[in-house]
Every structure is written in structure tokens, then in C-alpha cells.
Amino acid sequence: MSRRRSWQTISTSLFYKLAISMSRSQKSLVFLLLDMAVVPLAFFSALALHGGTALTPSLLLTLAPILLVLTALGAFLVRQLGLAKHKLNAYETRGIIATAMVSALLGAFGAAFNSVIEAPVSYSVFVIFAGLAAIFGVTWRLVLRHILTGIYRRGNRHIRVLVYGAGQTGQQLAAALRTDNAVEPVAFIDDNPKLQSMMISGLPVYAKSQIKELVTSRRIHRVVLAMPSISQPEQARIAMSLRDLDVEVQTVPSFAELVGQGEIGKRAGPVPLDSLLGRNRLERELPGVSHAYAGRRILVTGAGGSIGSELCRQLISCEPDCIVLLDHSELALYQIDKELRILRDNLELVPILGSVGDAALVADTLARHDIDVVLHAAAYKHVPMVEMNALRGLSNNVIGTKVVADAAREAGVERFILVSSDKAVRPTNVMGASKRLAELVVQDLATRSPGTRFSMVRFGNVLGSSGSVIPLFEEQIARGGPVTLTHDDVTRYFMTVSEAARLVLLAGSFARGGDVFVLDMGEPVPIRKLARQMIEGAGLTVREDSNPGGDIAIEVTGLRPGEKLHEELLISPDMLTTPHTKILRAEEGYLSELEMANALRDLRTAIDTLDEDAARAVIARWVERHKDASTAQEGA
């Protein structure tokens, strides 16, 4: 048995190599010869089936001219109709009709030629001959296609597909997939009991309950939803029900929709970014910053994050001497390092894997690479996550900032810029409080660091950043909803990641020491309005009382612990101007050196002893308004 299997493997391999090594013209010649061989085979088979004519040597001699003429004519017709050039995997109805036409013409010509030479052959023989020629001509192509497809698929990795939906789109999809050697349609899945256990387009139809068994037994790689008539949320729910299977799930529109004849032609495009921001974008209005960073050696902490990575992208156009990338995530650090090397292969890039809380590593990095500018973007920023992991959040955001800022001052760095958040203004959660404490650390050092200019930049939500509301809404819409709001009246400021990065870089060039820079971000955006815009931008409708048949519902889940209804950018209303009208500077109150030392001492003790209550007591004492967080939340 093993020897036989080995011989089959060798023969299959040889056949595969022969098939892929042949040129298009060589394959056409082989097809032409096979079509020519069909003529005598069909003719003698017709004589045998007719049974009324004895095949004597004299009769064969008489029929030889007919056979030669028919074979030559068959070759001519095959070439004229292009049958020899038909690809096997594209041989469908039109090819079959062409083969039938050739066979019919050959039968008619043979009967006419037979009457001219007065051969003793019944006209019915030529009728049988025409039918057999058509059958043989179609059969050899289909058989050869089946064999070659099997060999190609054995020789290459191919994807085995279940088509969910045995309607018109599913049948068209299955027919299209059969022509691709890299894909093999295995079966249909359909919820219609009348179709189950039937064969459609040569494939069996199964019930949805059999998918799991089919995935295992038939080695399925992908399930394709071919049901464009059902709503997108319903398709999303079906896709979600299949997510536990070890297969990919994809959705296709109808073939009519692909050319714009269906709903796809009417679907809206992405939501305009200006609508999400509530104002015009400012990237073009913000001045360039190349002069402030050209030839400098720059450290970016949190370099693999949303803001940190964009800072790095914008910095490389400033022609710095070196960029040092510090991040505690190996994957994030690898990705941004790889991307930057592709963008600028002649720039010195130094990836450093580590935490901002590692004082020895930070000090060594600043000294070893002679850093001129520090952009401190490393922070934990997801509000609920930091609320549930308060000690880790405070350690990273506050103590980490203290470590990097102290090291920058000791190393004589020219500029230190802290990336802060609007949640630091009168914070009602641990994340916001940690960012305000980080600001206080920087403000304190700014008062007694003549050699290093410390500043900070504060902005709202960054579109598309990790943990922001935009990716969450996109995911919820893709699942078929609902889209969740924490409160009907909640509002937020938004900015693009490129705006945020440019603002951070500008802050460094404008800094005098201890400054808090904010961007004029326009009016805050109602999150309910944002959710509606994103749903409608996806070509769907909102399900509500006035439209109960809508696609996606918006549900209110209640404010999360520490969450505000409305974010603020300033603690004090007093604003100072900067060289740019869209950038404002605030001079806000801060703790004295002694107060800051006491706050940090108590916070370190709470973190070292894993005393979360003590840590919350520290921020309640030293961070403005955090002690009233619960009251503020209840009032909201």
C-alpha cells in the first residue's frame, strides 16, 4: 500500500511539474490534438452504437476520406471558435455551447459529404456522431479540469471554504471560487430546511447546526457569508455566533451590488473628520517646528503608543541627530522602530526596552546618548483600567514622571515636555489625578531648574488612539450593535493624533518654564451625536422610538466610576497668548517644594505597601477637587 501511495505521489508531482512548466501555446496545441482525437473516437462509437453497418475493411477504406475531412474540419472549427485557447478552469456554459456547435457542424458536414461520395452509411449515424462528439469534447475538458485542479491544490496550500447562503449570491460565489486554485468551496450552509440535504451547484447543503462538525471533519479554513439581502446587523450577529470556531468569517455583497446596482451604491462614506472634531482641522494652521529639533538628540518615552509613535513620525522630518525610543512593550517598540527605519534609513534610532520607573536605566540612557530634549508620553491612560489598578497607574504616571524629570534635570537636558490630559483638570478619577500629580511634579521642578525648561501640554481625546471611543464605536457597529453611551449628555473634546503630536512639539519650542499649553479645540462634541454620525456614516440607521426598524440601537449604560459628564482644559480661566493664536498658555497654581516632597513620600509608601486606600488619600489631599469626586459624580 505504501509503495502504491509513493508511486501516486511521484506521478502526481511529475504531472504537476509538467502542467506548470507548459507554455500557453503548448497547452493550446495539446487541447487541439485532444479535440481532433475526439472526431474518430466519436465516429467509430456512433457506428458501433448504430449497429446497422458492419465495419469491414472495404467500408473503412471508403470512410477514410470522410474521417480525414471531418478531423481537419474539426481542427479548423476549434481554432476558429477559440476552443483550444479556453482555460480549463474557466470552461463553463459558453465553452460547452461552442463545443456543441462544433459537433453539430461536423455532423451536418459529414452527412452531406456522405451523400456526395455515396458511402453506405445511414444518416442517423451522423446524428449519433454529433451527439457523441459534443459529449466527448465536454467530458475530456471537465475530467481534465477536475484532475488538474486536484493536482494544483495538492501542490499548493489552498483555502477550504464554507459558503453560508445557498441563494443566488452563494451560487455565483461558489462558481467563481471553483476557478481559483487557491480556494476550494466545500459546501453550502443555509437556514432554509427545504434546501438542506440537497445538492446545489454541485455542493451539498447543510444546516447551521452542522458547521462545527464540518469545520473539523472537512478541515474548513473560512466561512463566507453570502446573504446580502439580510441586514448588516444580522450578518454581524451570525459572524459573532461563529467566532468561537477556529475559522475566519467574511462577508460578501451581492454581485449586483459590486457594480453599484444595489445598496452598496447608496451607502455613505466615512464620517467627515471635521464633523467628529466639531471644528476644522488645524494641522495646516499650526506652524512648523523643524528649527527647534534639527540636529538635536531626542528621547521619546512611550514611543510605541498612539501619541509617542506619531511624535516620532513627525520628528524625523525635523532632521534630528538621533531619536531614542523608550517603551516597556516589546511589540510596540519593535513596530515603531521598524516603521521609522523604513521612513528614514539614515537616521540614528536607538530602541530601548524598559520602564520609565527604572531610574538607573533612564539616567544611563540620558547620559549615554547625550539627550537634548525629552518628550515624555509614557502613561497609562484608560480611565476604568487605571481606576481598577490604581497603584500601578499612580506608579507609572506619577513616579515614572518624577524619575524621568529628575534624570533630565541631573543630565542637563535642554527641554522636558510632559504629555498631559484634560482629565487632569479637577479630576474625578485616579487616571486624571495621576496626570495632575505628574503636572505638579513638573511644575515643581520648573521652579528650581535653571538649566532645563520644563513644560507640559494638555489636550482632550485623540481620535483613533487606543482606548478611545472611536475604535469602540466602530467595533460595536461592526458587531451589529448596540452602541453604548455612559450618559445622554456626555461631551468630549477631540483632536487628531497629528494635531496632538504637533502641539507637543510646539510646546517645546514656546516653553519658558512651568507652562501649561492647550489647543483651542473649539466646542466639545456630544458623544450621542458622534455615535449617530458613525452609525449613519456606516450606511446604517439608528434604532429609536421614531424608527423602531432601524439597524443599530444606542444604549445608555450609566457613568463609569470617576467619569465626568464634561471635560475641561483649564483649571484657571486666566490665559496667556503664544506666538500662535490657536495655542494658549496657562500659568496655574502648584505645590511648594516641601508639599510636593511630602505628597511623593506618602505616595511611594502607599505603593510600596500596596495600600490603595492610602494612595487614594494622598491624591484626595493634594489634588484639587479629587476629594469631591463622588459628590461631582452624583451631581452629574
Each residue's pLDDT tens digit, 311-367: 998 898 888 999 999 999 999 999 999 999 888 878 899 999 999 999 999 999 999
Whether domain 290-460+495-520+568-635 has CATH 3.40.50.720: the reply is yes
The string of pLDDT tens digits covering residues 120-147 is 667 677 777 777 777 877 777 777 766 6
pLDDT for the residue numbered 636: 35
Distance, in Å, from the CA atom of 437 to the CA atom of 419, rounded to the nearest integer, reads 13
The string of pLDDT tens digits covering residues 202-215 is 788 898 888 888 88
**What is the architecture, at CATH level 2, of domain 159-263?**
3-Layer(aba) Sandwich (3.40)
- Range with lowest mean pLDDT among 8-22, 467-481, 528-542: 8-22
Q: Higher-confidence residue: 196 or 34?
A: 196
| Strands annotated E in 302-452 | 322-327, 348-353, 373-376, 415-419
The set of cell numbers assigned to 544 is 429609536
Task: Assign 60 a pLDDT band (cuts: 50, 70, 90).
Answer: low
Average pLDDT estimate for 73-86: 69
pLDDT for the residue numbered 300: 96
For the chain, percent helix, then strand, then coil, each to nearest 5?
55, 15, 35
| Strands annotated E in 459-551 | 461-462, 483-485, 491-492, 494-495, 515-519, 525-526, 542-543
- Range with lowest mean pLDDT among 263-272, 397-406, 466-475, 498-507: 263-272
Q: Higher-confidence residue: 622 or 104?
A: 622
pLDDT of 400 > 80? The answer is yes
The string of pLDDT tens digits covering residues 562-584 is 666 776 655 455 666 666 667 77
pLDDT of 405 > 80? The answer is yes
- The mean pLDDT value of the chain amounts to 77
Distance, in Å, from the CA atom of 82 to the CA atom of 98, rounded to the nearest integer, reads 9
Task: Assign 506 a pLDDT band (cuts: 50, 70, 90).
Answer: confident
Residue 50 half-sphere exposure toward CB, CA atoms < 13 A: 21
The string of pLDDT tens digits covering residues 411-431 is 999 999 999 888 888 888 899
Residue-range domain boundaries for the chain: 12-154, 159-263, 290-460+495-520+568-635
Q: Higher-confidence residue: 623 or 31?
A: 623
- Say whether pTM exceeds 0.85: no
